[in-house]
Amino acid sequence: MPQKNFHQTIIIGAGISGIKSSIELTKNGVDNIIIEARDRLGGRLHTIKTKTGIPMDLGASWFHDCLVNPLLKKTFDKGNVNFYYDDGKWDIVTKKHGVVSDNLKLRPVADEVNAYLKEICTKKYTPATDVSVREACYDYLKQKKFTLTKEQLEYAPQLVRYFELWIGSSWDLLSARCISEDAHYGRNAMVTNGYITFYNDELEELFKLKGHSETSQLIENGNILLNKCVYKITFDDKAKRIHIYTRDRVSKTIEEFECEYLICSIPLSVLKLQDYAQEGAIQWQPPLPIDIRAKLDRISFSSLGKVFLEFSDCFWPNKTDRFLCLAEPDDNLTDAIENGTKITFSKNRDSSWYKIDPRSSPDPFKYSVLFMNLSRAAKVPVLLALIAEPLTQYIESSSNEKVWQFFEPLVANISGKKTIPAPISIHHTVWSSDPFSRGSYTGLTIGDDPDACVDSLIEARDIFDGTGRVRFVGEGVTKEASGCVHGAWMSAKKEAGKIVSKINRSKL
């Protein structure tokens, strides 16, 4: 008699990598279910709609690496996802200059700093000797100050902080070594009708493979279980079975599931947790091997934040795709370069030292903020602000009134107007305080060694009986396109494929 809760393979997490894993297994006749802690599907793909019907992507927005991204063609062929390449005109804006003239030549200097990071920092630093992007900028400026104008010295480093809005961490913490190794291929296409459209296309593939006619049947038929938080995983060595324990987030009921193979797609920020009282944390018995634990300690999670400001009409320049608002010059850095004053750089991977007091009103011109002009990309009167930590955490804990108090001077500055209307709606992300993401994606902090972590998780031979029955997938378990949707998707395809091969071999 088959046991009620037995499945050949169990997948933890219904983000893109969980769904893709299920597709690969189902296609190859492997019985599987997905267990998801949240009450919704999609994980870090999450589209909401405003009252006026505008789709807003709280998670991913772009198909990155368009030269090599396998999802782009797939989606294009399907024909229901709308794209906009938002790589047209972009303005650099400062408090002092408004829109900065190209004559200041900040971009060529920032390009040279990038070349310095790529050429020098990759070779110079190891995870043990690594420095922050801010410190690497200082090294560059010290060497090249005789070639720079005063304004370049002051503002070009602030332009290099563009990386903050790509990764989601402050340049005080960003690793110069990892940033310079972070490779990207081709253009980036912004999805304008909701990234969830792509996820839903994947769900459609899955429900058809399962013999259903709509997504809801995946849930009704128990192919995907929602609201079930996995808190413990054990292994019965005699029976060669993995036991998975879940707590229902609504009824609090505990359930036990059994499987032969396990695919774990939870974010590494959650996998790292060792305080099992924390929501989402999973206790492994026997524990995860020491090597994996040690490698998980060498990765961090960043905190990219998004803020959508919806207005009645567009009142900002509408020929520009992006507005990059630079922070005001870093006086400590400039002084150290010009007058040789002493400057210290943090080597501390822990970000708690520079948090913003939630009761304060931070100066908006101290932070880098990138505004995407959705009036151009999606023909809606919305500005989407990308922000990095520590601002992300501040915004997450602030009322809409405080959020607007922060952004108003920046929006006024990009629009070139003294008085501007207030937004009709404000929506912002809360990924840092969400227990099932605990940040945005795998980061690149000083001293991190993400490749070593990927290797240890992909090998993961010594978990349980050493036969590779546990596979890790997701955006943090890939060297190709780490942090990205297509990276998560590709890792799932590969790792689920390994389970299929194993099962096929065992049938011979």
The contact set with ligand FAD (CB under 6 A) reads 12-18, 35-38, 43-45, 59-62, 64, 229-230, 265-267, 270, 280, 282, 304, 306, 429, 431, 436-437, 440-441, 474-475, 483-485, 488
Cβ atoms of residues 212 and 227 within 8 Å: no
Which one, 321 or 475, has the nearer CB to ligand FAD? 475
Cβ atoms of residues 202 and 17 within 8 Å: no
Q: How far is the CB of 23 from ligand FAD (least distance, A)?
A: 13
Q: How far is the CB of 436 from ligand FAD (least distance, A)?
A: 4
Number of Cβ within a 10 Å radius of residue 484? 22
Quote the Cα angle for 329-333-334, to 5°.
65
Q: How far is the CB of 111 from ligand FAD (least distance, A)?
A: 23
Which one, 94 or 269, has the nearer CB to ligand FAD? 269
Q: How far is the CB of 372 from ligand FAD (least distance, A)?
A: 10
Instruction: Identify the helix (H) or strand (E) that includes residue 135.
Output: helix 133-144
Q: How far is CA 201 from the centre of its chain?
A: 21
Q: How far is the CB of 260 from ligand FAD (least distance, A)?
A: 19
Which one, 17 or 373, has the nearer CB to ligand FAD? 17
Which one, 39 or 313, has the nearer CB to ligand FAD? 39
Number of Cβ within a 10 Å radius of residue 408? 16
Which one, 54 or 484, has the nearer CB to ligand FAD? 484
8 in helix, strand or coil? strand
Which one, 38 or 295, has the nearer CB to ligand FAD? 38
DSSP letters along 432-499, please?
TT-TTTSSSSB--BTT--HHHHHHHHHH-TTSTTSS--EEE-STTS-STTTTSHHHHHHHHHHHHHHH
Which one, 153 or 485, has the nearer CB to ligand FAD? 485
Which one, 59 or 468, has the nearer CB to ligand FAD? 59
Q: How far is the CB of 454 from ligand FAD (least distance, A)?
A: 13
Q: How far is the CB of 324 from ligand FAD (least distance, A)?
A: 17
Q: How far is the CB of 388 from ligand FAD (least distance, A)?
A: 11
Cβ atoms of residues 246 and 58 within 8 Å: no
Number of Cβ within a 10 Å radius of residue 282? 19
Distance in angstroms (rounded) separating the CA atoms of residues 165 and 161: 8
Give the up-direction half-sphere exposure of residue 508: CA atoms within 13 A in the CB hemisphere: 5
Q: How far is the CB of 13 from ligand FAD (least distance, A)?
A: 3
DSSP letters along 296-313, please?
HTT--B---EEEEEE-SS
- Could you tell me which residues are beta bridge partners of residue 83? 191
What amino acid is encoded at 497 in this protein?
Answer: G
Which one, 113 or 268, has the nearer CB to ligand FAD? 268
- What lies within 8 Å, CB to CB, of 315 at 6+ separation is 415, 417, 420, 421
